[in-house]
Amino acid sequence: MLFGTLEAGGTKMVLSVGNEANELLEQTTIPTESPDVTIPAMIEWFRDKNISSLGIGSFGPVDLDLASPTYGWITSTPKPGWRDTPLLPRMRDALGVPALIDTDVNAAALAEWQLGAAKGLRSCLYVTVGTGIGAGLVIEGRLVHGLVHPELGHMLLRQEPEDPTPAGFCPYHEGCLEGLASGPAVEKRWGKKGTELPPDHEAWKLEAAYLAQMCMNAVCAFSPEKIILGGGVMQQKHLFPIIRQRTLSLLNGYVQARVILEKIDTYIVEPGLGTKSGATGALLLAQQALA
């Protein structure tokens, strides 16, 4: 049996076909242009794949209320042209298969909890740091949705005194995590993409400081058994040791958990599934849609 998966991002759409063994067998990438260009192209790619269902992990915000008339719509996104877009309905109706949608980070969190770095645990937090910053949360084996879904990328932070642009670059909130620490924020602050900055550039100390604030807040708010940091910015592997040490410093011994106090290297980690977390999570959603 074959399943379709869509990892919908602000820059690109990653389409895959997987099987019941959680293997991704075939994959392609389509640029994220306007919905009227991108959605028909995705439908066309899936048409001859003989999929039984479709799972979507999407950038957001997304309406995840199954009882809502706009279930599966992308809502108040800052992505130009995609506000109020019925992504899931258009894909589902054109392909004629059952479909489920969640945020891209919830899909990744599900995959990491079920198959990756948090396998065997009861909870985890997955944070992607890239074009935007989002977080997926599993608590007691269940994805957290709530009123809409968690938006940790827009938590307000204490600005670091050495930040030359302390207001950040979010069009919605001054001083929020995404506006201060996303990939575009790094580029706007320093005038170069992160991939063009050397490891000893002052940008990375500042980046780690903001991500450590987020980790500290997450430990205190959700007490996850593991924090997983993915996304394009976290390909800068030298960030991890700085983030871990800054998180320890911010917690200041208050949270008496051995894994934090003695094994922080195993607590704040890279994705166990590498760059496949999102697509694998969408595959798991497709399997749930069929069930």
pLDDT in tens, 187-200: 999 999 999 999 99
Q: Quick check: do 2-106+275-290 and 118-270 share a fold?
A: yes
Tell me the C-alpha distance between 76 and 80, whole Å: 10
Q: What is the pTM of this model?
A: 0.94
Which helix (H) or strand (E) is 26 found in, with range? strand 24-31
Q: Is the peptide bond before 40 cis (omega within 30 degrees of 0)?
A: no
Tell me the C-alpha distance between 10 and 87, whole Å: 13
How sure is the predictor about 222, in pLDDT bands with cuts at 50, 70 and 90? very high
Superfamily of domain 2-106+275-290: ATPase, nucleotide binding domain (3.30.420.40)
* Residues 151-188: tens digit of each pLDDT: 999 999 999 999 999 999 999 999 999 999 999 999 99
* Residues 92-130: tens digit of each pLDDT: 999 999 999 999 999 999 999 999 999 999 999 999 999
Instruction: Reply yes or no on whether the pLDDT at 10 is more than 90.
Output: no
Q: How many C-beta atoms surround the C-beta of residue 9 within 10 A?
A: 20
DSSP one-letter code for 80? T
Structure tokens at 157: 């932070």
CB 114 within 8 Å of CB 124: no
Predicted pLDDT of residue 41: 98
Which helix (H) or strand (E) is 193 found in, with range? none
Structure tokens at 130: 């890239």
How sure is the predictor about 150, in pLDDT bands with cuts at 50, 70 and 90? confident
**DSSP secondary structure letters along 121-184:** -S-EEEEEESSSEEEEEEETTEE--TTS---GGG-B-PPPTT-S-TT-S-SS-TTBHHHHHSHH
Structure tokens at 193: 């993409």
Instruction: Reply yes or no on whether the pLDDT at 280 is more than 90.
Output: yes
Domain chopping of the chain, boundaries: 2-106+275-290, 118-270
Tell me the C-alpha distance between 64 and 82, whole Å: 16
Predicted pLDDT of residue 128: 95
Instruction: Reply yes or no on whether the pLDDT at 148 is more than 90.
Output: no
Options 3.30.565.10, 3.20.20.210, 3.40.1160.10, 3.30.420.40; CATH for 118-270 is 3.30.420.40
Structure tokens at 159: 């600005």
Which helix (H) or strand (E) is 215 found in, with range? helix 202-222
CB-based contacts of 196, cutoff 8 Å, min separation 6: none
CB-based contacts of 66, cutoff 8 Å, min separation 6: none
* Residues 30-88: tens digit of each pLDDT: 999 999 999 999 999 999 999 999 999 999 899 999 999 999 999 988 889 999 999 99
